[in-house]
Amino acid sequence: MKLLITGGCGFIGTNFIRLMHRSHSDWTLINLDKLTYAGNRNNLAKLEQEADNYHFIQGDIGDRELVRSVLADYKIDAIVNFAAESHVDRSINDPSPFVTTNIQGAQNLMECARNHDIERFVHVSTDEVYGTLGPEGKFKETTPLAPNSPYSASKAGADLMARAYFETYGLPILITRCSNNYGPYQFPEKLIPLMFLNAKNDKSLPVYGDGLNIRDWIYVDDHCRGVELTLLKGREGQAYNFGGNAEETNINVVKTILHILGKPESLISFVADRPGHDKRYAMDFSLAKQELGFSPSVDFAQGMKETIAWYEKNAKWLEAVQNGSYRNFMKDWYKERKA
């Protein structure tokens, strides 16, 4: 198979490419990534240097001529689309890049795929398109989409466009929706790596509101296996939920990090809550279990230990990704929340 992975230098894309290289040595992997602030080509530098079946192309999924040429030149069989702006706080500050990449870029990719007779197209989405849950129940694939942030609204828009391309044009597209990922290579604006960095340096750990917002956490390799199963076995036109069976409050996640590092809970500080902050996410992945044979293999306690160990071992990586863009964003973030 000749597989195009978009956004492959980001957190989940990086781990997916590594998994595909290990599991499918006969596949050709082409990584198209714009290299925005959260895309790091060095994540896959060794693979790029040593693997004949891995190729990197810097570019935008919204660039129609580029996408067309990649599909034609490499004779692409299938696409997995990870490319997206993905941070809720950034989407609140400025929604426009989220509309441009997450909706218009995804639509351009679908249109190019339609014109090149792509055999399979997996569009990677998020549980956030469903909105928020009360204390009971879980999101099913049939749950109505009710996004509450500009980020989740842009992802929901892309999901609906994917449905339209399947229903209208017969594009063989599938959608995956996943709960919160954690693991190696996650950019340090997200909760777990940010809290690790602050705790490691004995800095304050800012927690939104009362810290009781609940997320279902999934180790990134489990999510990547779900995407792989969708690509290989999924029904065209179908959306599949993936979760980790690990509902945890944000405050418990933060305390877990402090406990692993042997740091005091006095480092925790509560800050003004995020606008439109969803209270609870939980995923019903019974359809993926039934049709794809999916189940998470890494529990939260094990996954957190492995994640923290990876960050401690890869301090130089963390140092390298803390560029000016990240530092300036977090500086503004602290200022706004303390106002």
By annotation, the residues acting in catalysis are 127-128, 151
The DSSP secondary structure of 109-123, one letter per residue, reads HHHHHHHTT-SEEEE
C-alpha distance from residue 130 to each of 16, 99, 276 (Å):
24, 18, 13
Least Cα distance to 79 among 108, 122, 117 occurs for 122
Identity of the amino acid at 250: N
Place of tokens 């590594």: 18
SS3 174: strand
Joined tokens for residue 330: 């977090």
Distance CA 55, CA 211 (A): 42
Strands 247-249 and 214-219, by their bridges, are: antiparallel
Distance CA 180, CA 291 (A): 22
